[in-house]
Amino acid sequence: MITAKFGGTAVTPRNLVHLKEIVTPYHKCVVVSAIGKEYLNDTKTTDLLIEYYNNPCDAVWGKIEDKYRRLVEVNAIDVDVNALLLDARSRATRYSLQYCMSLGEELSARVVAVFLKAQYLEAEEVICFDDSGNLDEENTYRNVNERVKGAQLVVVGGFYGGSKQGRRTFSRGGSDVSGAIFAAATNSSLYENWTDVSGVCVANPTSVADVETVASMSYGEMYLLSLAGAEVLHPDAVAPVEQKGIPIKIGNFFKPYGKSTLVSACPSFNKLLSIAQKSQDGKIVTTVLHSYPQWRIVKLISRFLRKNTSKLEFFGKSREVSSLKLYNLQFSDNIVRLTTDISILPSLYKSLIE
Ligand code: ADP
Ligand code: ASP
Ligand code: MG
């Protein structure tokens, strides 16, 4: 039995067709995100919903409607999209902001269930949060099993669940977490996470050209990378499947048989595992995960720093001037962290793979 999660770029009018190539009779649970970006400067449905909650006007709701209308029309899905949208709008500002933010995933799941001829499952009725906002694992796993049992295939919205106070969401990117919960609750043999890039790469492929996919890595390595800014998988999506020893396959829905990453108990074979980057307090923290001996990584990083330094002549005296402000450099077991003023991802990647 397989659980598959499809991210926001898969759930777009143009890309939805790929789900039919990927979902097989071995799949039992399909978890979907809200419609994501359709082009570079597009706005994600979840962001439009936040905007609508703060300013409930026709202009913003119109953008949400347009996305879901096209999703249905382009894929010739036999669903009354006007009724769905009318119902969603009637609830959009009635409750909390998190309730409003959940509507994108709900709409996606309702439409995709019809598209895949599957059973729609309401996430609010199965994923339970306790009074402190943490997942109530026992009740959630029981609910999931009761509702999934007997069904050929269920489609559910990621990112949210229910609580005594109403709907709650995970943090942004949280559909990955819902996918992991469904995989763990149903003891799936595999958790597939389908996204718009070919698995976890040695660096963010949207910032660096021609980066290799990391074929396999451990749960711990994946967790560290997610925390360090590799947003390809939400960090909280690791623990539920790790506890059950369920591997995660992170693959590209554009190329389902192409390169992918398998996250399991086995550590990566890559010497340079991956470089991740995130902004923190106005600075950029770059984390390198590797298995080089200490002397080797020190040498590689020193070479990178030297490359960013030029010799300037001042009145006959030469001085070293660095083109990048380095605030902090830390070496610990298999991890190097550099805090800088600018993005060093492409140049650091180049220095470390040469
Ligand atoms: P989804 O909508 O499928 O959840 P996300 O946008 O959340 O997709 O995650 C996929 C994105 O993660 C990629 O498009 C890429 O820009 C980014 N990313 C950051 N670091 C990495 C990395 N090391 N490997 C792959 N993708 C990465
Ligand atoms: N739609 C939510 C977000 O944009 C959750 C997700 O995509 O995983 O953060
Ligand atoms: Mg994501």
Tell how far the Cα of 46 is from the centroid of ligand 2, in angstroms.
Answer: 7
Query: pLDDT value at position 314?
Result: 74
Cα separation, 147 vs 154, whole angstroms? 9
Q: Is the CB of 36 under 6 A from ligand 1?
A: yes
What tens digit of pLDDT does each residue of 262-278 get? 999 999 999 999 999 99
SS3 250: strand
Residue nearest to atom 11 of ligand 1 (CA): 232
| Confidence grade of residue 112 (pLDDT, cut at 50, 70, 90) | very high
Can you read off the two tokens belonging to residue 77? 């899905």
Q: Which residue of 6, 47, 208, 232 sits with most ligand 1 atoms within 8 Å of its CB, as the best mutation to test the pocket?
A: 232
Q: What is the pTM of this model?
A: 0.96
Can you read off the two tokens belonging to residue 92? 């959009």
Query: pLDDT value at position 138?
Result: 98
What tens digit of pLDDT does each residue of 136-146 get? 999 999 999 99
Q: Is the CB of 171 under 6 A from ligand 1?
A: no
Return the beta strands (E) in 40-153 as ranges: 119-121
Residue nearest to atom 5 of ligand 1 (CA): 232
Q: By the 8 A CB rule, do 202 and 353 touch? A: yes
| Dmax (CA) of the chain | 83
Return the H-helix or E-strand segment holding 109: helix 97-115
Q: Is the CB of 45 under 6 A from ligand 1?
A: no
